[in-house]
Amino acid sequence: MSEELKNLKNELYLSNSEFENNYTNKMDDKMDNNINNEENIIINKNFEPEESNKSEELTQNDIKLIKNDNLYNNQYDEKTLSFNMENGTISPYLVLKTQKNLSNEFIVEYILNEKYAVFREDYDITINKVVGLFPNFANFNPRTYYKTNKT
């Protein structure tokens, strides 16, 4: 192989390597930015945050917008939890693990409903997991609940 061809091959190889490194770094930065931005996304279109208040918990009509991290340190009423689950800001699995006063109806309507799943573990919630955390749920008949409340 001639010297020119070797040089050209080396240039192309370096160009490809530089391109791959540059592309990989840009994609890593983009993913980091997306992850950071996802924590701050509020899906509710009617929500307008106060300009001066940029706290972790924002309110609208006495309903707090909460993050998954807030669930570990606080207990919330079902109205607040349902609002946040409907807007995709909290994980049903974390709600199940961290909140102690959930009604059977709430568990059926929000925790076991894949419509509100955010992460992979939200899809893996089983009746056995629920009963393990809420033993009274074993005596609850969801069919009765749906017949009386959904017709």
Evaluate if pTM is beyond 0.75. Answer: no
Section 1-29 average pLDDT = 59
Domain shared by 31 and 72, yes or no: no
Rounded Cα distance between 90 and 49, Å, is 18
What pLDDT digit, counting tens, does each position of 60-101 carry?
Answer: 566 788 999 999 999 999 999 999 999 988 999 999 999 999
Q: What pLDDT does residue 46 have?
A: 52
Is residue 49 domain-resident?
no
25 in the same domain as 72 = no
Q: Is residue 21 scored above 80 in pLDDT?
A: no
Name which of 52, 97, 112, 101 is nearest 78 in CA terms: 101
Looking at residues 25-49, what average pLDDT do you find?
Answer: 52
Do 71 and 25 lie in a common domain?
Answer: no
Query: Does any domain span residue 50?
Result: no
Judgement on whether residues 32 and 83 belong to the same structural domain of the protein: no
